[in-house]
Chain A
Amino acid sequence: KQEVTQIPAALSVPEGENLVLNCSFTDSAIYNLQWFRQDPGKGLTSLLLIQSSQREQTSGRLNASLDKSSGRSTLYIAASQPGDSATYLCAVSTTAGNKLTFGGGTRVLVKP
């Protein structure tokens, strides 16, 4: 059974610092990995998707890496802003088009 863990559970940084969020999974036979953002009481916004054959994806200030063999992904957010404050969730799928298994999330606070 796939298990996804995110460390740390919460993170507080001053504005301008880079953020590093970690995600680990127990079964390396994944199809893809997605990073999401969730604002309080809201739905999920897809940030980045990495296919199992890829090592990283970038979008603006966001960069996500994937090391499938070691079961790890890292989300980097450069030059953090107060608007980046949210909960960040990673999720993996093990078969094409199938269900996602989510980590517990990292709650981020960027202080102005």
Chain B
Amino acid sequence: SAVISQKPSRDICQRGTSLTIQCQVDSQVTMMFWYRQQPGQSLTLIATANQGSEATYESGFVIDKFPISRPNLTFSTLTVSNMSPEDSSIYLCSVVVLLASVNNEQFFGPGTRLTVL
């Protein structure tokens, strides 16, 4: 498995501002993903974070709203830009660990609970 940390664990923000969420993994991973979980809902994939290149976004998510960086194999950031109350969600990063990549088992971070007022 992998130990995944996210910062911040939670935040309350004003509309119109931006928040950057960090995801750090203790081992090298092949793939990193960002998910959103809106209140009372299941998880929806936002994008795949690609090392050294632009992220691959799912339908309904755009780079201007959710810019993502992944400078190396163990770290990624997700920014939620120009926030509105509809962005209030839990944001989770997940990884596929290199040594376990044959199974492609995904492990999740603890999540960042965002509330936008």
Contact = CB atoms under 8 A, between A and B. Distances in A.
B76 interface: no
A38 B5 CA distance: 16
Chain A, interface size category, equals 20 to 34
Given A89-B43, A97-B96, A99-B33, A46 B107 contact: yes
Interface of A is mostly: strand
Contact of B106 (A42, A51, A100, A103): A100
A46 B96 CA distance: 12
Interface string B31-43: 1010000000111
How many residues of B sit at the interface, in one of the four size bands? 20 to 34
B108 A43 contact: yes
A20 interface: no
Nearest to B103: A49
B78 interface: no
Contacts of A99: 33, 45, 48, 58
Interface of B: 1, 30-31, 33, 41-45, 48, 58, 90, 92, 94, 96, 101, 103-111, 113
